[in-house]
Structure 1
Amino acid sequence: MMKTLVCPTLLVTALVSQAAMTPAVAHESRTLPASKKSIVLTVGFSSEPAFEDTFNGVDVILKADDGECPASASASATSDEAAGDTRHANHPHITAPIDTAAGDTVSLKVSAIYMNTAMKPTGAGGSVLPAAAGFRASRELTIEYPLKAKYNTPGTYQSFFRPTNPGPGTGANSGAYAFRVWGTVRVVAKSSTSCGGSPISMQARTATINSVFVCGPNGTMSADGSYNCIKSIQPFPGNAAEGYKPSMKF
């Protein structure tokens, strides 16, 4: 019987590639005010776990939110947490994706920030990064790669980049990533089917956004653990002897 030999290097490479492209499951959501009702902004790494010096990106997920579903419709609503919905068990919300293909306007910019340690942002909507976090560097990702709608996923927008520093971001000077999202969103009137049953009309609205999302359990503002940003950037597998050296610029 012939045996198949697997090269350890190829196996590790395959596993790393597969892990890096796994759909993100640890995003943070915030409900922000709009001219009518509110919107939900959800942010996190596009691929998780994230590895330093490996292709990745930022997800920006947007939904209009009109609060909890009518009691008669709540029982038939379904959960959509993987897409960044704010609905929780027994408390479904009237929501609809903010979709540029359906006439909505998304004029947002995103910066990646690298700091000494993860700390919760302060201010309205989480707009202020505490100075004690130890700012190291910032880079506006959307200059090089403007937010683009994710294929076949209404309400999800992405900008891609390659994180080049390790984490984990839980201790002093250990390194931590954050994303700042700012700009405006304009939403046309639409119908929501998130509650089940007959569609529910939603008013047009606009929202001005300025929010910082700090990656890691020490940085999230969300009380819902399922919406934490990624807990740590993973050091790149390998060592200097194999020709890899971490970047200390960003």
Structure 2
Amino acid sequence: MKTLVNRFYNRLDQIHIEERILPPLKDDEVEIKIHAAALNKADLLIAKGKPAMIKLMFGLRKPKIIYPGTDFAGEVTKIGHKVTQFKVGDSVFGDLSNAGFGAYAKMAHVKEQNIWHIPKGYTYIESSTLPMPMGTSIEALKQAKDIKDKKVLIYGGSGGVGRFLVQLSLYKQAKVDVVASKKHEDDLKKLGVLNIHDYKSSSFNLPNNYYDVIFAVNGYQPLKVYSKALVKHGSCIIIGGNGKQLFAAMIKAWFYK
């Protein structure tokens, strides 16, 4: 089968297609013909090897994982005899981030706990975009714990993760403010957001000691900016960001355990 291959960091022009033979299907695996795969920011960061901590996770000098791609959608073509939740012909979407990657390929062998049935009415392309932003949002909300009636700020609410956080936070009955660019205002209002702050506005400023929880998606601001906006014992959940911001978050988390 054809698959995308990346053997070097930050040499995107060297990414190419190769033929690869899939190993035999295991008893607890599902074979999937991939119809669509998503490109997340994380996939690009891994390919570039930036920020530097990416290399600590995926190989110091060159990528340990040469078959990229995590999020996909496709059709079940075979099942192992221990598989109970899926059958041949099922339309599924899944996440290979904990299963060896390799979503940018014609086929994949996946354990059934890493795939889900595509909701009725969704296309393969739409479904392939769900796993990483949806999963990231759910994990962030777990970190925040109970947010009912809490003042929540989603800084960077217009991207994939941000929009999931918006909808899930509103579902959990939080009082949600969003920081995003003006061009996304109408879309966010359709999701139910009442207070949208344009970070490009000259009058934009976060209030001091106001928010119970801040979700900092991609870490656009230094930690001290978020800290000032939080109430005492408030929580700031960092989701992505550059190397400096992530390092600062790790150091602060260590000293405030």
Common fold: TM-score over 0.5:
no
Q: TM-score scaled by structure 1?
A: 0.21
Higher strand share: 1
Higher helix share: 2
